Amino acid sequence: MNDILQSYTFPVDHDFELVQGDLLQEEVDVIVNAANARLQHGGGIAALISHAGGPVIQQESDAWVRKHGPVSHESPAYTGAGDLPQRCVIHAVGPVWGRGGEDQKLAAAITGSLHLAEELGFTSIAFPAISTGIFGFPKQRAAGVIYQAVQDYFIDFPDSGLAKVRLVVFDQAASQIFEKAWFDFHKE
């Protein structure tokens, strides 16, 4: 079972929650995959999502790239969820640490995913800690960027149909880092 560590409600009833648990078990409309630009789901959370959802996720991802080309930070792709309990998977490309512009690229991936979820008519979304695994983005810094991007989205779009946004971290060590960053962000 996933545990809500922290929760914040924006002025127009948009809930943002920090959760420790398994992204794949989230009871939301859509989960976000931390993807690469070619949507090859060979490692990290991408491999877990692709394996649990079945081969249809990789097949639809390959078809997306054939039709649209590589995925950018700002414009994520989406596929069905296959055997997963969610309705859809949004494939967001986060930055690789050390290649420049990481904060802006991560914020763009978060904002682009929120926009896409809303365009698709979804009301709830769960993110992993994009780029903090094999892409090497420092967790504390990523947390601040993600929190700011979600806040900015709801300031810019107060009438958003997204009622619930969750950031899901898997292990205790990451949870402590993201929770500390939560307190630091919300005391400012």
Residue 188: its pLDDT value, please? 59
63 within some domain: yes
17 within some domain: no
Domain residues for the domain of 114 are 29-187
Provide the β-strand partners of residue 178. Answer: none
58 within some domain: yes
79 within some domain: yes
Domain count, the chain: 1
Give residues with Cβ within 8 angstroms of 99, minimum separation 6: none
Residue 94: its pLDDT value, please? 94
Residue 47: its pLDDT value, please? 95
36 within some domain: yes
126 within some domain: yes
Closest CA to 17 of 176, 170, 167: 167
DSSP assigned state of 169? E
* C-alpha–C-alpha distance, residues 62 and 26, integer Å: 25
67 within some domain: yes
Beta-carbon-side half-sphere exposure of residue 129 (alpha carbons within 13 Å): 29
* Interstrand relation of 164-169 and 124-127 (parallel, antiparallel or unpaired): parallel
Provide the β-strand partners of residue 42. Answer: none
Residue 186: its pLDDT value, please? 77
Provide the β-strand partners of residue 3. Answer: 20
pLDDT in tens, 77-87: 999 999 999 99
- What share of residues in the chain are helix, strand, coil (percent, to 5)? 40, 20, 35
Residue 105: its pLDDT value, please? 98
Q: Which residues of the chain have pLDDT under 70?
A: 188
Can you give the CATH number for the domain in which 82 is found? 3.40.220.10
21 within some domain: no
Report the amino acid identity of residue 166: R
DSSP assigned state of 69? -
* C-alpha–C-alpha distance, residues 49 and 19, integer Å: 18
Closest CA to 11 of 179, 160, 182: 160
* C-alpha–C-alpha distance, residues 35 and 13, integer Å: 30
